[in-house]
């Protein structure tokens, strides 16, 4: 929604690079407002118990 609002308020962009820079700056600013997921550590512990082998496999790929 934030990105759409920013793009809609501009009539045009001088270049594709200018549009990408604007979107990057908007995402950077917006991401500072994002909150962390509550209870993530407990959920990760539960997933480790239920399907630990898959989590370790995914971590090894990254």
Domain ranges of the chain: 2-61
- Predicted TM-score of the model (pTM): 0.48
Task: Give the DSSP H or E segment for 38.
Answer: none
Asked if 4 and 32 touch (Cβ cutoff 8 Å), the reply is no
- List per-residue pLDDT tens for the chain, 62 residues long: 778 888 887 778 888 888 889 888 888 888 777 767 777 788 888 888 888 787 777 777 65
What's residue 62's pLDDT? Answer: 58
- Specify the residue for token string 């550590």: 41
């Amino acid at each position: 929604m934030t990105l759409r609002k920013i793009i809609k308020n501009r009539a045009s962009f001088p270049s594709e690079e200018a549009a990408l820079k604007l979107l990057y700056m908007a995402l950077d600013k917006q991401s500072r407002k994002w909150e962390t997921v509550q209870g993530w550590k407990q959920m990760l512990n539960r997933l480790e118990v239920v399907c630990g082998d898959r989590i370790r496999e995914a971590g090894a790929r990254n």
